[in-house]
Amino acid sequence: MAKLPDPLPTANVARFVADLAREHGVVVVRTKLDQFAEKLTELSGDDVRLDATELALVKLTERGIITAREMSMLILNHIREQRRSRLS
């Protein structure tokens, strides 16, 4: 597991995640499986598309670099930051 700051960042989350991914050699590439999952989600009536930051967090979790809890908190902080920037 990577040693993450406590508390986790609430600003510049995308940059933090990109740096963490780069540090651990995680490259975000949208796979056929990602496209398939998005299509299934769409067909079920939802429209969920993960951005590059969210995909990087999923990959970091899959590799055991961060915990599922850390991933969830960082995704939440990322979404909140995006909403704040849209409101200003």
> Which tens digit of pLDDT belongs to each residue from 61-79?
999 999 999 999 999 999 9
Total domain count, the chain: 1
Q: Is the torsion defined by CA of 72, 30, 80, 63 positive or negative?
A: positive
What's this model's pTM, rounded to 2 decimal places? 0.83
Structural domain includes residue 23: yes
pLDDT category at 38 given cuts 50, 70, 90 is confident
Show the domain range for 29: 13-87
Structural domain includes residue 6: no
Structural domain includes residue 1: no
Nearest to 78 by CA among 58, 64, 65: 58
